[in-house]
Amino acid sequence: MFRMILFTQWRESRLAVLAMAVAAVAIPLLSLRGSWPSTDPWIAWDLLRSTAQWGVAYPILALLAALLLAAAAWWPDHRTKHVYALTLPISRRRYLLLRYVAGVTFLLGITVALIASALVATSRLSLPPLLHVYPFGTGLRFFLAGLSAYTILFALNGLAPRTARVLAALGIVLVLVSLLADLLSLGWNPLAWVMEALLSPYSPLAIFRGRWMLIDV
């Protein structure tokens, strides 16, 4: 059954998965383009600056991959009005679990592509003293960030249309109130409070914060 779910989900999301995998391969290679083997301490600044500039691409890619995978997981059900799920000889709970795990499988594949690219990109470097490469650490953080975002987005995509419309309306109201507060110089911004809560140290999305460095001390 899982193989069938995985195939149907791959059919719906293969272009997105392949695009995310290509991006995952490109980011480490681009972040170290122009680098050459050297133990010169001054090269350390160039390496750190380059990896810091490209570091922002990792959380963006993780969030984008989570968004596309979550949308693709629910697209067949939304398109067929959930008729396809009702025809399967399994419970709704197990069906959703299989859908969720299929998306995690694709996310894991993208992560493997990222780690492989990072290993290739850093294999030709002779780093100055005190600098180290973190291909597996970067890959693990990418996977955990994508997993946390994917879990939340998967749940949101599964909401009933009426509930989804209510949440969308609340989001629009929140943005409008925040814009009005800024225009009136009220000194408070509810949207900023919400974003701070979502990215607080106690939030599952806190992993998106901080620096993402392929090379660091």
Mean pLDDT, the chain, integer: 81
Local confidence band at 44 (pLDDT 50, 70, 90 cut-offs):
low
118 falls within a domain: yes
167 falls within a domain: no
117 falls within a domain: yes
140 falls within a domain: yes
Q: What is the mean pLDDT of residues 156-171?
A: 71
Q: Does the pLDDT of residue 152 top 70, yes or no?
A: yes
Q: Does the pLDDT of residue 109 top 90, yes or no?
A: yes
**pTM for this structure?**
0.81
Q: Does the pLDDT of residue 84 top 60, yes or no?
A: no
Whether residue 214 contacts residue 51, with contact meaning beta carbons closer than 8 Å, is answered with yes
Domain count for the chain, please give it.
1
Q: What are the CA-CA distances from residue 52 to residues 10, 49, 79 (Å)?
A: 33, 5, 41
61 falls within a domain: yes
175 falls within a domain: no
One-letter amino acid of 98: L
User: Which position has the higher pLDDT, 161 or 140?
Assistant: 140
Ranking 55-64, 126-135, 136-145, 150-159 by mean pLDDT, the lowest is: 126-135
Percentage of residues in the chain having pLDDT higher than 70: 84
Percentage of residues in the chain having pLDDT higher than 90: 25
User: Which position has the higher pLDDT, 134 or 80?
Assistant: 134
Q: Does the pLDDT of residue 35 top 70, yes or no?
A: no
Q: What is the mean pLDDT of residues 131-155?
A: 91
47 falls within a domain: yes
- Per-residue model confidence (pLDDT) at position 89: 64
The tokens of 21 are what?
């995998």
Local confidence band at 164 (pLDDT 50, 70, 90 cut-offs):
low
- Per-residue model confidence (pLDDT) at position 83: 55
Pinpoint the alpha helices (H) of 57-91.
Answer: 57-79, 83-86
Distance between CA 112 and CA 47 in Å, rounded?
23
SS3 215: strand
- Per-residue model confidence (pLDDT) at position 82: 57
142 falls within a domain: yes
User: 89 lies in which domain range?
Assistant: 2-161+207-216
Local confidence band at 39 (pLDDT 50, 70, 90 cut-offs):
low
What is the DSSP-derived secondary structure letter of residue 80? T
Per-state percent for the chain, helix, strand, coil, to nearest 5: 75, 0, 25
Local confidence band at 100 (pLDDT 50, 70, 90 cut-offs):
very high
Q: What is the mean pLDDT of residues 140-150?
A: 94
